[in-house]
């Protein structure tokens, strides 16, 4: 299946928190979008890997993504080495996305920065013809594929974006997708331990950050991204 956009997240819910409204908007505009979770989030204080798997599936249905897979890397302990790069490369060559979205370049959780660099490096390596990414016992050759663009969404830290996407009209869909992870986020009836992301303030921050980023570009809501390449435009009027 050829995808237009492939979104990577170190944990289930990273993609929704960082780029949920952008995903919803691109799908509404006819793009095929997929999500790859690197881990099952098994070290999370609340819920469990099994619960989060069901929540991730529900969230994917809300957003309307074409596919969602989990690479089952070790939460908190995966690293940027050959083994893990090859896992990402296989997904890139399987779905051949033109655009990749991935974790914040630096963040509070160590997996976010690690996942960001891992995916970015794999996007480059995936284009090298001499890398054979087929699994042991698999005779199927995967053709090299390098995405045209790799963008990093913003997570806990207020990283200055290189560009902001107008997501006005899609913030409610983003919140709905986030709330599919009922084990993780604010629930006044939950008896689970409190975490930095389970507070009402954090959930409210999803909306007020989108409003603030939207304010910067003169729209209702925005989502910010950084890029490792110098951004360019074809015409001055491309800027809103």
Q: Is 90 exceeded by the pLDDT of residue 233? A: no
Q: Is 80 exceeded by the pLDDT of residue 137? A: no
- Taking residues 175-193, what's their average pLDDT? 92
Confidence of residue 240 (pLDDT cuts 50, 70, 90): confident
Q: Is 90 exceeded by the pLDDT of residue 91? A: yes
State the Cα–Cα distance between residues 216 and 88, nearest whole angstrom. Answer: 34
Q: Is 80 exceeded by the pLDDT of residue 171? A: yes
Strands 99-102, 149-153: pairing kind:
parallel
**What pLDDT score was predicted for residue 230?**
86
Beta bridge partners of 203: none
For 197-212, the pLDDT digits (tens) are: 999 999 999 999 999 9
Q: Is 80 exceeded by the pLDDT of residue 2? A: yes
- Taking residues 90-104, what's their average pLDDT? 98
CATH architecture designation of domain 5-231: 3-Layer(aba) Sandwich (3.40)
State the Cα–Cα distance between residues 188 and 127, nearest whole angstrom. Answer: 48
Pull the structure tokens for residue 22: 């952008």
Q: If we measure between CA atoms, which residue out of 133, 113, 93, 94 comes closest to residue 9? A: 113
Q: Provide the whole-model pTM.
A: 0.96
Angle, CA 96 vertex, CA 55 and CA 173 arms, to 5°:
35
DSSP 106: S
DSSP string over 110-156: HHHHHHHHHHHHHHHHTT-TT---PPTT--PPPPP---SEEEEE--S
Average pLDDT over the chain, rounded to whole? 96
Q: Is 90 exceeded by the pLDDT of residue 239? A: no
Q: Would you say 114 and 79 are in contact if contact means Cβ atoms under 8 Å apart?
A: yes
Q: How far is CA 142 from CA 17, 95, 118, 145, in A?
A: 31, 11, 20, 9
For 61-75, the pLDDT digits (tens) are: 999 999 999 999 999
State the Cα–Cα distance between residues 157 and 121, nearest whole angstrom. Answer: 22
With a pLDDT cut of 90, the percent of the chain lying above it is 89
Beta bridge partners of 8: 36
Confidence of residue 140 (pLDDT cuts 50, 70, 90): confident
Q: Is 90 exceeded by the pLDDT of residue 135? A: no
Q: Which residue has the tokens 């806990």?
A: 156
**What pLDDT score was predicted for residue 53?**
98
For 6-23, the pLDDT digits (tens) are: 999 999 999 999 999 999
Confidence of residue 147 (pLDDT cuts 50, 70, 90): very high
Pull the structure tokens for residue 112: 């976010």
């Amino acid at each position: 299946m050829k995808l237009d956009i492939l979104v990577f997240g170190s944990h289930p819910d990273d993609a929704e928190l960082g780029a949920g409204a952008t995903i919803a908007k691109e799908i509404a505009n006819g793009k095929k979008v997929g999500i790859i979770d690197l881990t099952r989030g098994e070290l999370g204080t609340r819920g469990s890997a099994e619960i989060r798997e069901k929540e991730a599936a529900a969230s994917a249905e809300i957003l309307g993504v074409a596919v969602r897979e989990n690479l089952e890397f070790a939460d908190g302990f995966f690293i940027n080495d050959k083994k893990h790069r090859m896992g990402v490369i296989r997904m890139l060559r399987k779905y051949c996305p033109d655009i990749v979205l991935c974790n914040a370049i630096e963040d509070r959780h160590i997996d976010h920065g690690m996942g960001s660099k891992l995916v970015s490096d794999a996007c480059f390596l995936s284009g090298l013809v001499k890398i054979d990414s087929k699994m042991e016992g698999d005779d199927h050759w995967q053709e090299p594929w390098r995405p045209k663009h790799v963008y990093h969404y913003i997570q806990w830290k207020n990283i200055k974006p290189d560009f902001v996407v107008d997501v006005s009209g899609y913030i409610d869909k983003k919140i709905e997708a986030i709330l599919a992870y009922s084990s993780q986020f604010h629930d006044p009836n939950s008896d689970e331990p409190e975490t930095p992301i389970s507070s009402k303030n954090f959930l409210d921050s999803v909306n007020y950050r989108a409003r603030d980023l939207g304010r910067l570009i003169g729209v209702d809501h925005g989502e910010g991204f950084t890029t490792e390449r110098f951004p360019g435009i074809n015409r001055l009027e491309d800027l809103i």
